A and B are shown apart, each in its own frame.
Chain A
């Protein structure tokens, strides 16, 4: 992992659809080297996958998301890892983090409607061994996801010329 790799990662994180040729012209690398470096980053799982930032609300999809905070009793030898990994297996779990503060785990879940989310929480998450308490917060609107704002911003006016 060198500076060029980090530069490639920054570029791909911002737009993973650029061609190796385009990336090459931006980084002064030949196309084959860009491809080789990206391949190595994929192989080593530094790049986990390529995805899109989608404004589902705009797409007319009424999917419901919720943030669920969990108090968990940690296990001897494993801490929170086993229960976190178990929760991660559910398709409905979009992100999962161990956090400091009142709660231990923060889970972002989504489902096609409110019923699916509430059923998932009450039937799958809450009854799980070692989970002592849950607090569920339904997401009403998303303004920013992974560093990307989801609302339109006004174009600022620029002079066509300045020295």
Chain B
């Protein structure tokens, strides 16, 4: 029998550390710092509105773009919160999470052979999405020296005649780095000079601890060449509701909408109802979650540095990205032995692409009690090396 699996599906590399993750499932008493989602429950007012909508029989498809009420509220929210101007009618699509938004954004703009730059370390989906769209993912390394911000010189070096777009994600998973306006300006100049498109995944935009988020589309003339992706998962602890959104100038938005209507039709309606409630009434819930993450970050990062895992202060998201270089172990070895010997699960940084070697992604979206316990166990592990 011939192989039915497509070339493209085969091109996507399997996760090299699957076995390691499977091991976690078989072990007891593991403190997992490997979970990239909030540990809070969705605020109850949001849950209640979802439940109520089901009781009322709101269970059908919505328009492809998403509920008008949600798009209107979202458009107003983006304008007041980030000074982002997107029309609810032509420049905004509600998607099934940011994952789908990313996929349709990439497919809407990539031709076969186009190179797409990805600021790494990064979330694991960007490169496979580019590959699936027939493009060629090209990593651009963000280094610890630069506090994991995208360096304009490094970016410049990676641009070729084939480069079509740049994907960035700040606040960043896995590093927690942010890019302020002054950091984005030189990037904006390069993107404009080289006539590139910017795809900006801003799903952690509400989770910043020292300064508020700058949306790249508001910097210089980037708006006309930016696709802004965001969602409700991280800010409102709504990961399972699957609601994200894509914003872009109309021409690009129309192209993405065509793909969206054929592959997804619409985001789940109860999720959209919940998202609307989140915008209307969950500001305080969000603030108290952000306050709690800040406290955890402070104590956890101080703890990591104290026990010898040097860690820059992450200004956003809920990840610490310490270096394990001093241990003499690679990140994969460190993570495996830490799991087996002390039952603490962290994600080896190399999973997140270049620049991640020798680092560990530790999500502090767990209780302070667990963080304290995890720090104790990691310290015992390091002292035993």
Contacts and interface: CB of A to CB of B under 8 A. Distances in A.
Given A161-B347, A163-B173, A163-B347, A25 B302 contact: yes
B345 interface: yes
Contacts of B65: none
B63 interface: no
Given A7-B291, A27-B295, A162 B37 contact: yes
A158 B37 CA distance: 9
A25 B303 contact: yes
A26 B36 contact: no
Interface stretch (B2-10, B24-32, B247-255): B24-32
Contact of A163 (B30, B36, B295): B36
A161 B21 contact: yes
A43 to B, nearest CB: 24
A158 B32 CA distance: 10
A10 interface: yes
A156 interface: yes
A42 B124 CA distance: 49
Nearest to B124: A163
B124 A26 contact: no
B296 A161 contact: no
B339 to A, nearest CB: 10
Interface string B28-71: 00101011110101000000000000000000000000000000
Contacts of B295: 7, 11, 26-27
Contacts of B302: 25, 28
B299 A22 contact: yes
A140 interface: no
B298 A159 contact: no
B30 A160 contact: yes
Number of chain B interface residues as a range = 20 to 34
Interface string A47-90: 00000000000000000000000000000000000000000000
B337 interface: no
Contacts of A11: 295
Contacts of B123: 163
Contacts of A159: 35
Nearest to A159: B35
Contact of A160 (B32, B125, B368): B32
A130 B383 CA distance: 72
B276 to A, nearest CB: 23
A25 B301 CA distance: 9
Contacts of B30: 160
B330 to A, nearest CB: 19
Contacts of B351: 163
Contacts of B296: 26
Interface in A85-137: none
B41 A162 contact: no
Interface string A16-58: 0000001001111000000000000000000000000000000
Contacts of A27: 295, 298
B34 A161 contact: yes
Given A160-B30, A161-B24, A163-B123, A26 B345 contact: no
A160 B291 contact: no
Which are the 8 A-B pairs with shortest beta-carbon distances? A26-B295, A25-B299, A161-B34, A26-B299, A160-B24, A160-B32, A162-B36, A163-B124
Interface of A: 7, 10-11, 22, 25-28, 156, 158-163
8 contacts: A25-B302, A26-B299, A27-B295, A158-B37, A160-B21, A162-B34, A162-B36, A163-B125
Given A10-B291, A26-B298, A160-B32, 17 more contacts: A7-B295, A22-B299, A25-B298, A25-B302, A26-B296, A156-B41, A160-B35, A161-B21, A161-B35, A161-B345, A161-B347, A162-B34, A162-B35, A162-B36, A163-B36, A163-B125, A163-B351
